[in-house]
Structure 1
């Protein structure tokens, strides 16, 4: 499974969920000293991105709202030129890249191996908030059982990518390999959609008939948007 050259998205440090949900991230210090804040960097590096267009709409409305304004996000997505063709396949999002290098899982207090991450997930705490940045296998398996029971095909597309160059690539490849093996044991046909445009991935996952979201803020954003569109009911 030679996908090592395909995992990196070329969207360096593009953080859609944080830019939409957290004002201190979008208007805080930029990772690039050329810019006053991250919003300025995004306007330069990702001018047509969902994040840049969403924040521009917020600024027009002079809004500093903490958290997502779902209708504004929907307006940006509806105006986006990319229109997904998802058919009846099951889409699974896996949070890959730098996060799999984390050494502060609250249950183990150490870095987990790719196999341990697949089984247990990654439960991390930043500030006062604990969140699964990578869900355990049971999250996907339980949802797959429900979806296929309702008549879905057994064709799966795994979606993910790395937004930091050379961060967690080998570990991510191993996680993908383990997931493919496990899913094929249960009779699923597995295809990878890896290292693509993260905005297009978001639109695809948000509009798919069947989708199982991944961990972290990006996965939570997908889930909330799908609930808004009445594609998920939990």
Structure 2
């Protein structure tokens, strides 16, 4: 009987210890989150990531032309409130662009690869500074996808813990974190680059929506750069470039680390079609 009572007592003590540890851990995590959030929000050196091509949606035009809802202006929508360019106005707003030429020559057809490849080949220029054997291109999705759709604790949870939140209360209150790659993803990719003999990473990012600031995107980029440099690799930033220039620039590389979104998908699939040595 004495032994049974002792075991019960030990069991209760263990439960209390685990409970207190859990509470303490949550408290520490909450404190750490608050420290990080204050650091992000207090940052006065937000990167200017706007690419001066408002609503220029090249990836969406290749993959989502038939989905008219993606091209409808909606003043109440979290992100479509910015999408106020009709598909038929791109010729006037962005003349001679890859997008305007693609829409015209493809006759508004999705995934017309032959047309797109002909357009980019006519515009492509080789960058002699790129070493195909030792350089890698990394695309990072930034802008509204982070600063408007997944900021605050939601951003920290996705980036550091890969805990993804998606919530659609109404059109003006959307939480969507699937555009963000977690820190572990970049750490794994960097490790692979070292094994492949890559010595330099070009980090490319830009925002097609003008926001008051890009504080979370800035933190995101800085932490990724920190991981690259910590591994002993060089890194060069290519931020806020035009979508056309960035797409053409990607054609200089054999090695690519992708993020999320239709534009990044376009970079990947276009290069796979024109470059047999292209590696993801």
Kept in 2: contact 1:49–1:199 (CA 8 A): yes
Measured after TM superposition, the shift of residue 16 of structure 1 is 0.7
In structure 2, the residue matched to 1:58 is 106
Measured after TM superposition, the shift of residue 96 of structure 1 is 0.5
Equivalent of 1:118, from 145, 148, 159?
Answer: 159
Measured after TM superposition, the shift of residue 159 of structure 1 is 0.5
Measured after TM superposition, the shift of residue 228 of structure 1 is 1.0
With over 3 angstroms needed to count, the CA separation of the structure-2 counterparts of 1:37 and 1:174, relative to structure 1, is closer
With over 3 angstroms needed to count, the CA separation of the structure-2 counterparts of 1:125 and 1:159, relative to structure 1, is farther
**Structure 1 residues 156-210: Cα deviation after superposition (integer angstroms, max 9, x where no partner):** 2210011111166111111111112222222222221101111111121243122
In structure 2, the residue matched to 1:77 is 120
Measured after TM superposition, the shift of residue 139 of structure 1 is 3.2
- Equivalents in 2 of 1:204, 1:225: separation in Å? 12
Kept in 1: contact 2:59–2:263 (CA 8 A): yes
Q: TM-score, normalised by structure 2?
A: 0.65
Mark the runs of 5 or more structure 1 residues left unpaired by the alignment. none
- Equivalents in 1 of 2:165, 2:279: separation in Å? 24
Equivalent of 1:184, from 222, 229, 253?
Answer: 229
Q: TM-score, normalised by structure 1?
A: 0.77
With over 3 angstroms needed to count, the CA separation of the structure-2 counterparts of 1:148 and 1:140, relative to structure 1, is same
Structure 1 residue matching 2:154: 3-state secondary structure: coil
Structure number with bigger Rg: 2
With over 3 angstroms needed to count, the CA separation of the structure-2 counterparts of 1:194 and 1:116, relative to structure 1, is farther
Measured after TM superposition, the shift of residue 38 of structure 1 is 2.2
In structure 2, the residue matched to 1:231 is 277
Aligned length: 217
Kept in 2: contact 1:25–1:38 (CA 8 A): no
In structure 2, the residue matched to 1:19 is 61
* 1:1-234 alignment, distance < 5 Å: 4=46, 6-24=48-66, 28-29=71-72, 38-59=86-107, 65=109, 67-80=110-123, 82-85=125-128, 86-87=130-131, 88-101=134-147, 103=149, 112-113=154-155, 115-119=156-160, 120=162, 132-153=178-199, 155-166=200-211, 169-229=214-274, 230-232=276-278
More helix by share: 2
CA RMSD of aligned residues (A): 3.4
Mark the runs of 5 or more structure 2 residues left unpaired by the alignment. 1-42, 76-83, 169-175
Structure 2 residue matching 1:166: 3-state secondary structure: coil
- Name whichever of 81-90 and 191-200 sits farther off: 81-90
**Structure 1 residues 66-100: Cα deviation after superposition (integer angstroms, max 9, x where no partner):** x4122221111001154444324221110010000
Kept in 1: contact 2:204–2:237 (CA 8 A): yes
Measured after TM superposition, the shift of residue 146 of structure 1 is 2.9
